[in-house]
Chains A and B, each alone.
Chain A
Amino acid sequence: MSGGVEGLMMVHVLFGMLCIVTAVWVFVDVLNVSEANLARIRMMSIAVAVFMWLAYLIGGYWYVTYYAADKAVILKGPWPLAHSFFMEMKEHVVLLLVLLTTFLPIAAASNLAANKQARTLVLCVVGLIVLIGMAMDGSGAIIGVGAKVGLMPK
């Protein structure tokens, strides 16, 4: 792998982490919602979606273009589950994350300061984003280790 390809993967992880951290920000802001922070909640909700789409598109490009070599290494190594479960699961569950983050700015457009039910909806959506995001991050780490142990001398 060239340094540029590794850099691409790091940027994918960076945007994924930014998505999670920003979602946590939105969660806390919604818990303390008032007219004063409504605009910030909406802006940060859009940021969550933008970060997720960047992570998805960059990771997707890397997956389609470069992953085949890693997949072969993982499947021949001692951690085949890193591909056969974690990668297979990650590449499809991530679509739930794309949908949830795309939906978040729409849900956050309601007057969250005045409507408790709208707040609950946004909190549930953000909670799912954070939980699934952390599962994706952990799966990515396991896939990385799966490739690493596959390259180690037997």
Chain B
Amino acid sequence: MAANGIGKYTVSFGLSLAVMSVLNGLLVIVKETHEDSVLALMKRLTPHHWITHGIFVIVAFVALGWLFSRANGGQGIQIPVPRLIALLVGAVVVGGALIAGFYLIEG
């Protein structure tokens, strides 16, 4: 249990969730605006670009969470819980808004 009273995996995977929420939204915009390069590459990697997208987001979430938990000599990243909550909620809202906003404009 970390000094802030919650486990190091809660902090590390919470931060990973925040990062990947925004990256997920950015990846949508990048792949849809670069169909000949990014989207084409994602289509080549798996039978469907959406499968590549999902695998990237989920694998990166696990990898980042694990990396964040190894920081600080194995104690994990230290962050006050209210800041973690604000980051997590804010990032999910921004990630969702990036996607919805993009398709609202481009759709």
Q: Chain B contact residues: over half helix, strand or loop, or mixed?
A: helix
B38 contacts the other chain (CB 8 A): no
In the complex, which residues of chain B have a beta carbon less than 8 angstroms from the beta carbon of A114?
Answer: 5
The answer to whether A66 has its CB under 8 Å from any CB of chain B is no
**B92 contacts the other chain (Cβ, under 8 Å)?**
yes
Stretch with Cβ within 8 A of B (4 or more), from A5-13, A39-47, A97-105: A97-105
The smallest C-beta distance from B90 to any residue of chain A, in angstroms, reads 11
- Residues from chain B with a CB closer than 8 A to the CB of A93 are 96, 99-100
Contact A99 B21, CB 8 Å, known A64-B47, A128-B89: yes
Identify whether the interface residues of A are mostly helix, strand, loop, or mixed: helix
> Contacts of B61 on A, CB cut-off 8 Å?
99, 102
In this complex, the member of A81, A99, A106, A114 whose beta carbon has the largest number of chain B beta carbons within 10 angstroms is A99
List of B residues within 8 angstroms of A132 by Cβ: 92, 96
| B10 near A124: Cβ-Cβ < 8 Å | no
How many interface residues does B have (CB within 8 Å)? Answer: 38
Interface flag for B68 (CB, 8 Å): no
Given contacts A96-B21, A107-B10, A109-B10, contact A118 B5 (CB under 8 A): yes
Which residues in chain B, 9-56, are within 8 Å of chain A measured between CB atoms?
9-10, 13-14, 17, 20-21, 24-25, 28, 47-48, 50-51, 53-54
Other A-B pairs beyond A89-B99, A98-B54, A121-B6, 18, CB < 8 Å? A64-B51, A81-B107, A93-B99, A96-B24, A99-B17, A99-B20, A100-B17, A102-B61, A103-B13, A106-B10, A106-B13, A107-B6, A110-B1, A114-B5, A115-B6, A117-B4, A117-B5, A121-B85
Query: Interface on B for A, CB 8 Å cutoff?
Result: 1, 4-7, 9-10, 13-14, 17, 20-21, 24-25, 28, 47-48, 50-51, 53-54, 57-58, 61, 81-82, 84-85, 88-89, 92, 95-96, 99-100, 103-104, 107
